[in-house]
Amino acid sequence: MIVRHPHRPDHHALLNIAVVGHTNTGKTSLIRTMLRSTEFGIIEDAAGTTRHVEQATIAADNEPILNLYDTPGLEDSRALFAHIKKLQAKSRLLLPAQILEHFVTHVAVNDPLEQEAKVIRQVLRSDILLYIIDVREPFLEKYRLELDVLTQSAKAIIPVFNFIAEHQPELAKWRQHLAVYHMHVTLEFDTVAFSFEAEKRLYQKIQTLVESHYTPLQKLIDYRATLWNQLCLSGAKRVTELIVNVACYRESKTTKNNLIADSLIENRLHDFVRKAEQHCLHDLLAIFNFSDKDVAIQKIPVSDGQWQLDIFAPGILKAYGLDVGSAAAKGAAAGAGIDLMVGGMSLGAASALGAIAGAGWSTFRRYGDEIKATVKGTKWQCADETTLQILYLRQKHLLKKLMHRGHAAQDTLHVDKADSEKLPDNWHKITSALRQNPVWQEASVARNNSPQFQEIEAKLVGSLLDER
């Protein structure tokens, strides 16, 4: 996303956007969030963090669209304002913007206003200014003076309200003050949170103020929309893969009491589930361009269900070629046919199963393991319902948080409980179908082309993204 293009012909000049404002209002944070990268600049809860103008380019599909310029915060607006007024008094014939030009060309190295001069220089070179406001602050004189100087540049300005959460009355006051400067096109943009809608609105507002760049900006908006949808879809698909992977996992376990063998199986299962979740977490972070240190995930409490193939599960009946309404199915449901059959069946009698159920040898091959296991008295050890539910709910919660986390966020995201999330409709049908298809554990062409699998995947993905 960040590309540098030093030699561009003028007729293709990129839109230049300067991000300006008082110190510590979230300028660098805004740029990080717009770039979706934690790499840009330094963010600190202290004044004067950014010391120089820094540039980043935003592209749409490798075509550079605009330059963003991070600037040092304005610190001493009173001195700046007084200095500009003095210059104005001396050169009455110059236009306001020319006074600013004069100021930046004549400022001395180590001048107390050197920092401010860097900002004004960038302002004069830009097409539009994003003026970042910490709305928690009242409209103090220093902000008024700052705005007086910035408007003197005659550039379009979009005030961006930051720290808006729970500060609606302050926000309303700021709007009133800015209206005095004819600034009605404003934007609410929490710079440490990400909302695709807010980003889109920002570009749309720039489009209305700098019409000459309307078309490239539209391209950028469309590109970012596609990218955003792809990101969310990739995230949801990755979580779905985790659920499939764990639900299909099984270990066979004899019913004979063997405590050591059992506890080994249990450990393997716990290990498997935890590693699978860690792996998913890692991939989700990579998809959304965050690092492992952004999230702290509490160990999942894995429980191991003992699961026996439910020979009457509707999916199984169907797989055996039994129509639920058929006489054979009714016999099965009554317990007679199948009980007899399973109880008395040797492995060689497999074809008899086919005969009874009206299904062929291929069906037996598919379910052979279950039948063998039932005959031998084997149980399957697998992650139980609660574990699968916790996995799903936690990952859904994480996915939602990552979708709305700005790249300027400094706090660690904690994934432990997820009370407000909902399981998808038909959850039990989904997990039971997955258990009956252990070969789906790994992706394969056969799996991905199976209509039953596609339906399950679409349901899980859909429910993971339902409140986007």
By a kind-dependent CB cut-off of 5 to 8 A, residue 190 interacts, out of ligand GTP, Mg ion, none, with: ligand GTP
Q: Which is nearer to ligand GTP, 73 or 159 (CB)?
A: 73
Q: Which of 69, 163, 249, 290 binds ligand GTP (CB under 6 A)?
A: 163
Question: How far apart are CB 447 and Mg ion at their closest, in Å?
Answer: 49
Q: Which stretch binds ligand GTP (CB under 6 A): 37-45, 153-161, 197-205, 222-230?
A: 37-45
181-195 burial, b if ≥16 CB within 10 A, otherwise e?
eebeebbbbbbbebe
Structure tokens at 106: 């004549």
Q: Which is nearer to ligand GTP, 22 or 253 (CB)?
A: 22
Q: Which is nearer to Mg ion, 28 or 33 (CB)?
A: 28
- CB-based closest residue to ligand GTP: 73
Q: Which is nearer to ligand GTP, 119 or 273 (CB)?
A: 119
Helix (H) or strand (E) holding 209: helix 196-209
Q: What is the DSSP string of 71-106?
A: -PPB--HHHHHHHHHHHHHH-TTS-HHHHHHHHHHH
Helix axes 336-344, 361-376, angle to 10 degrees: 70
Q: Specify the residue for token string 């979740």.
A: 277
Does 38 help bind ligand GTP (rule: CB under 6 A)?
no
Question: How far apart are CB 467 and ligand GTP at their closest, in Å?
Answer: 22
Question: How far apart are CB 146 and ligand GTP at their closest, in Å?
Answer: 12
Q: Which of 37, 49, 195, 234 binds Mg ion (CB under 5 A)?
A: 49
Residues 391 to 420: which contact ligand GTP by CB under 6 A?
Answer: 410
Q: Which is nearer to ligand GTP, 190 or 277 (CB)?
A: 190
* Count, residues near ligand GTP per rule CB under 6 A: 22
Does 50 help bind ligand GTP (rule: CB under 6 A)?
yes
Q: What is the Cα 376 distance to its own chain's centre?
A: 47
Structure tokens at 439: 């070969």
Q: How far apart are CA 398 and CA 413, in angstroms?
A: 8
Question: How far apart are CB 50 and Mg ion at their closest, in Å?
Answer: 3
The answer for residues whose C-beta is within 8 angstroms of residue 90's C-beta and 6 or more apart is: none
- Checking DSSP bridges between strand 251-254 and strand 378-383, what pairing results, if any? antiparallel
Residues 293 to 332: which contact ligand GTP by CB under 6 A?
Answer: none
The answer for residues whose C-beta is within 8 angstroms of residue 327's C-beta and 6 or more apart is: none
Q: Which is nearer to ligand GTP, 164 or 456 (CB)?
A: 164
Closest C-alpha among 393, 321, 309, 308 to residue 357: 321
Q: How far apart are CA 393 and CA 397, in angstroms?
A: 6
Instruction: Please name the amino acid found at residue 457.
Output: E
Q: What is the Cα 346 distance to its own chain's centre?
A: 53
Does 162 help bind Mg ion (rule: CB under 5 A)?
no
Question: How far apart are CB 42 and ligand GTP at their closest, in Å?
Answer: 7
Are 250 and 381 in contact, with CB atoms under 8 Å apart? yes
Q: Which of 5, 12, 39, 48 binds ligand GTP (CB under 6 A)?
A: 48
Binding mask 143-162 for ligand GTP (x = CB under 6 A): -------------------x
Q: Which is nearer to Mg ion, 42 or 179 (CB)?
A: 42
Does 235 help bind ligand GTP (rule: CB under 6 A)?
no
Task: Kindly report the length of the chain.
Answer: 468
Structure tokens at 11: 């007729």
By a kind-dependent CB cut-off of 5 to 8 A, residue 387 interacts, out of Mg ion, ligand GTP, none, with: none
Q: Which of 54, 146, 190, 241 binds ligand GTP (CB under 6 A)?
A: 190
* Count, residues near Mg ion per rule CB under 5 A: 4
Instruction: Please name the amino acid found at residue 74.
Output: L
Binding mask 22-41 for Mg ion (x = CB under 5 A): -----xx-------------
Q: What is the DSSP string of 357-395?
A: HT--HHHHHHHHHHHHHHHHTEEEEEE-HHHHHHHHHHH
Does 77 help bind ligand GTP (rule: CB under 6 A)?
no
Binding site for Mg ion (CB under 5 A): 27-28, 49-50
Binding site for ligand GTP (CB under 6 A): 23-29, 43-45, 47-50, 72-73, 162-163, 190-192, 410
